Amino acid sequence: MKAIILAAWEWSRLRPLTKTIPKPLIKIFWKTILNHNLEIIYKYVDEIIIIVKYQKEKIIESLWNNYKWINIVYKEQSDEKWTWAAIRWIKLNDDLIIMNWDSIFDKKDINKLITFNWYWVLVKKVQNPEKYWIFKVDINWNIKKIVEKPKKNIWNLANLWVYKFNWKIIDFAENIELSIRNEYEITDAINEFVKKIPFKAFEIEWEFIDVWYPWDILKSNSYFLNKLEKSKIKWKIEKWVTIKWNIILEKWALLKSGTYIEWNVYIWKNSIIWPNTYLRWNTVIWEYCKIWNWVEVKNSNIWDYTNIPHLSYIWDSIIWNNVNIGWWFITANLRHDKENIKIPVKWELIDSWLNKFWVIIWDNCKTGIKCYSMPWRILENDNFINPGTMIK
């Protein structure tokens, strides 16, 4: 059996995060999205074909460094629109798993999908089917049709983009024609497939993590941290450190005296937490970070080589690589009217369903001392913010 992972496009809904890193390489907890899925499926297949295009060199380099022992083949997406077009010319004569890299699934659901004799697709019941690709099934869960974002709420089984197909799906993909959007649509290939070959829907039994928007990174880390049942401490903790609940402290990371940690927190290799720092729930700190004296960090994702100095408050935020925060940086993460925070994404205002979300600071940014921020702001790459600035 083969596996095809569709990992070619940029995913602009995650901007600015995907401007300098492809979405498959965004870290959730301590693995990339791509790694989470690879580690579930590799043992069931003899070859994994990864469809690449956007920043393909970074994906290939990452997998070469970490997964040399897996048989991985790369195929570049052509200029034909929609990633589904990339599989149209792959020649196989075996069953295959096809999955997007958008989401992280529980291995129990993937294991069932792969080991069952039937051909399946993972689905989930949803309350708002008009936002999804929806399957119509019979009483035995045999798929009769797939419809993209139906305007009428007549079915509610959403496509989760993980499939086990017979190799003939390639033939159907080769023969579909361009849609009215001038794209090769998965819906058209599946609708032809189900006319000839039995194809069932399999409703997931466990949680899955959908990473569509920047704030989903915080939700995803929270999911894994909330499952942490005991601490894993692999390096040094000085005296007078208080730890409530559980933490993961990786090798060569250091907690200095006076640090107070409340709820579950993850601290990666070579990071230093200086005295009298307060780390609160669902915070993830990556490699070579320095969190200085009298800093409070809550529900935030802080990437590599970032410094957060004295008397700063970082709440509900994403701070990327090589960022230097000036002394006394204060965040405002709550609207005065206490409404949900709405965020512009691709010329549309999206409800985050969060009432607290602060800022994304992207690579190589610097802020001067005593800067402040209003809720939900973005600092793009290589920005310098003058001392005393209110980021509006």
DSSP per-residue string spanning 259-327: -EE-S-EEE-TT-EE-TT-EE-TTEEE-TT-EE-TT-EEES-EE-TT-EE-TT-EEES-EE-TT-BPPS
145, 310, 342, 377: which is the annotated catalytic residue?
Answer: 310
Share of the chain above pLDDT 70, in %: 89
pLDDT band at 73 (very low <50, low <70, confident <90, very high): confident
Rg (CA), the chain: 23
**Among 240, 293, 237, which residue's Cα sits nearest to residue 265?**
237
Alpha helix (H) residue ranges in 165-204: 169-175, 186-196
From CA 290, how far away is CA 9, in angstroms rounded? 33
From CA 25, how far away is CA 322, in angstroms rounded? 17
User: Cα dist. 148→87, 186, 194, 245, 361 in Å?
Assistant: 20, 10, 16, 44, 35
Position 259, amino acid: T
pLDDT for position 348:
65
pLDDT higher than threshold 80 for residue 231? yes
pLDDT for position 295:
93
pLDDT higher than threshold 80 for residue 195? yes
pLDDT higher than threshold 90 for residue 110? no
**Among 41, 205, 197, 212, which residue's Cα sits nearest to residue 123?**
205
Q: Encode pLDDT of 296-331 as tens digits.
A: 999 899 999 999 988 998 888 889 889 999 888 887
pLDDT for position 324:
92
pLDDT for position 43:
84
Q: Encode pLDDT of 114-136 as tens digits.
A: 877 788 888 988 887 877 888 88
Report the mean per-residue pLDDT for the chain. Answer: 83
Question: Are 80 and 87 spatial neighbours (Cβ–Cβ below 8 Å)?
Answer: no
From CA 329, how far away is CA 316, in angstroms rounded? 14
| Domains in the chain with CATH codes | 2-210 (3.90.550.10), 215-391 (2.160.10.10)
pLDDT higher than threshold 90 for residue 278? yes
Angle formed at CA 259 by CA 253 and CA 264, multiple of 5 degrees: 75
pLDDT for position 151:
74
Residue 310 known to be catalytic: yes
pLDDT higher than threshold 60 for residue 83? no
H or E element in which residue 37 lies: helix 33-41
pLDDT higher than threshold 90 for residue 18? no
